[in-house]
Structure 1
Amino acid sequence: MPIWLEVIVRTLCSAVILFILTRMLGKRQISQLSFFEYITGITIGSITAYLSVDVDTHWYLGIISMGVWFLVSLGIEYLQIKSKLARDWIDSKSTILIKDGKILEENLKKEKLTNDELLEQLRKKSIFQTAQVEFALIEPDGEINALLKKEYQPLTPSHLGIKVSPEPEPQTVIIDGKIMDEPLATNGLNRQWLHTELEKLGVSLDNVNLGQVDGYGQFYVDLYDDKIQVPAPQEKATLLAQLKKCEADLEMFALSTKETSAKQMYGACSERLLKIIDEVKPVLSR
């Protein structure tokens, strides 16, 4: 076999083996790497490279070496799952870098970080003053997380004592101009409804790059032709307007009738509907 052909075969085989081993090791190998996983990734990658081009080396020796590293890495991951002590020793622990707005210089030196690097990481999280930070720590994977002091945290409905209903999961019903039947069925919809919505927007199915339906039944599309302006969904606004109209009608009926019992009934219904409008308005207005 010619050397160039042997290199091609070795490279393809090495790539397949490396892909299989990486998939078996799990997604952590490509996301949050511990020290050992980082070393394992470099080593297996280097072995794969040598196995591809070093034609003087027996190919099975490289595969054996990769297999040993794979088994060792698998054993370490199993040990980490079973033992917290092993996790702390292999992955290390989180280290506090800022506490009560004060930078802990000794911990910063321990993690080989400079003030400039710390400030850079804080700026990526839209934090520009260390005095605003309650505490910040560096995770075992090297990421820095920070918690702002109470007075600097963004205002949320919970701070105002407002209960917010959970946001239903949006469903992607069109991808690359093709209808996804399963997400449609999840929201209790069908193709006929979808085609009706497309007709309302005045767009064809083959021009839709992405179509999504939120939990409230509003339909959003992204078109291939970016020059076409798609009108925003009006279902929520229409429902809110209809509720307000009903409340106004009830109030008008209460004012126009001369019968006492009817006046009281219309007035009570108007008040109850007004309370319902106040409750649903935050949902229908966003």
Structure 2
Amino acid sequence: MNANLYVSIGVKLTVALIGLLIMTRLLGKKEISQLTAFDFVSSLMLSELVGNTIYDEEVHLSHLVFALIIWTLLALGLEKFIARFPRLSRYAAGTPDLIIRNGVVDFKAMKRNNLDFAQLGMLLRENNIFSLREVAYALFETNGSISVLRQNDPEGISGNAKDQQSSVSLPAYIIENGSINEDSLQRLGRDKLWVDRLLQLSGIPHHERVLFAEWSDSSGLYFQLKEAKHA
């Protein structure tokens, strides 16, 4: 192996490192535990892209730079496109699944996510929860973690879980960036007509004017309108 090849590998590694740092900054900071399925696939593609070009003598530095630029533009464009249309985000990144509702475990949701009770218990313990009676609602997130809303008085709960009445309610985003979240409505047992009536009571003529709207059975509607566009 000649000296030129060593220099070429060193330069490619340096450029790849700088390119990946720039790409990470452009796409936003995320912890490893926050990676979605799309982020995971993207990281695999990047590792293959960089790994296959660094040690190939026929691939020049310009090829590596070009590939990094194209992949960055594609990934950034897709991120922006998904952010503009929240409904597409739910298909690309997935949606959280409610596995405990009102203190009752949804075993079908557990099977749908390939979860057993040992794994559920481990995820709850990571949230410092050691008994299911402490849980009012639990969402299995798209990154494999679990988010929990606790019962207000878990010590007063015993007997059949289905006979209990939770003292808390789970808030849900019913509007995201002007788009109605149909998954949340289905979970709430509501429809678009209910959303329209709810907004009209607040003096809002159309859901497209709403940046976000959150509904809670215990607290009602909480929302923020989009900023008005100035001419």
The TM-score with structure 2 as length reference comes to 0.60
Mapped partners of 1:29, 1:149: distance in 2? 29
Structure 1 counterpart of 2:102:
100
Mapped partners of 1:85, 1:77: distance in 2? 13
Q: Residue 14 of structure 1 contacts residue 51 of structure 1 at CA under 8 Å; is this kept in 2?
A: no
Identity %: 24
Q: Residue 15 of structure 2 contacts residue 65 of structure 2 at CA under 8 Å; is this kept in 1?
A: no
Please state how far the C-alpha of 1:107 moved relative to its aligned partner. 0.7
Q: Which runs of 4+ in 1 moved over 3 A?
A: 28-31
- Cα offsets for 1:155-190 (capped at 9, x unmatched): xxxxxxxxxxxxxxxxxxxxxxxxxxxxxxxxxxxx
Structure 1 counterpart of 2:200:
none
Which residue identity is paired with 1:114? D
Mapped partners of 1:105, 1:30: distance in 2? 28
- Cα offsets for 1:72-111 (capped at 9, x unmatched): 1111111122112111111221101112333211111211
Which residue identity is paired with 1:69? W
Q: Residue 12 of structure 2 contacts residue 64 of structure 2 at CA under 8 Å; is this kept in 1?
A: no
> Aligned to 1:75, which of 51, 72, 77?
77
Q: Residue 132 of structure 1 contacts residue 148 of structure 1 at CA under 8 Å; is this kept in 2?
A: yes
Mapped partners of 2:33, 2:4: distance in 1? 39
Q: Residue 101 of structure 1 contacts residue 133 of structure 1 at CA under 8 Å; is this kept in 2?
A: yes
TM alignment of 1:1-286, pairs within 5 A: 1-28=3-30, 32-152=34-154
Mapped partners of 2:37, 2:151: distance in 1? 32
**Which structure's relative contact order is higher, taking Cα pairs within 8 Å and 6+ residues apart?**
2
- Cα offsets for 1:34-64 (capped at 9, x unmatched): 2222211221122122222222323322322
Give the 3-state SS of the residue equivalent to 1:127 in structure 2. Answer: coil
What CA RMSD, in Å, does the superposition of the two structures yield over aligned residues?
A: 2.0
Please state how far the C-alpha of 1:121 moved relative to its aligned partner. 0.8
Structure number with greater Rg is 1
Mapped partners of 2:86, 2:22: distance in 1? 28
Q: Residue 34 of structure 1 contacts residue 141 of structure 1 at CA under 8 Å; is this kept in 2?
A: yes
Which residue identity is paired with 1:90? A
Structure 1: tracts of 5 or more residues without a match: 154-286
Mapped partners of 1:114, 1:30: distance in 2? 24
Q: Residue 102 of structure 1 contacts residue 131 of structure 1 at CA under 8 Å; is this kept in 2?
A: no
Q: How many residues align?
A: 153
Cα gap change, 1:31 to 1:23, in 2 (>3 Å): farther
Mapped partners of 1:116, 1:63: distance in 2? 46
Structure 1 counterpart of 2:158:
none
Which residue identity is paired with 2:92? I
Structure 2: tracts of 5 or more residues without a match: 156-231
Mapped partners of 1:76, 1:112: distance in 2? 29
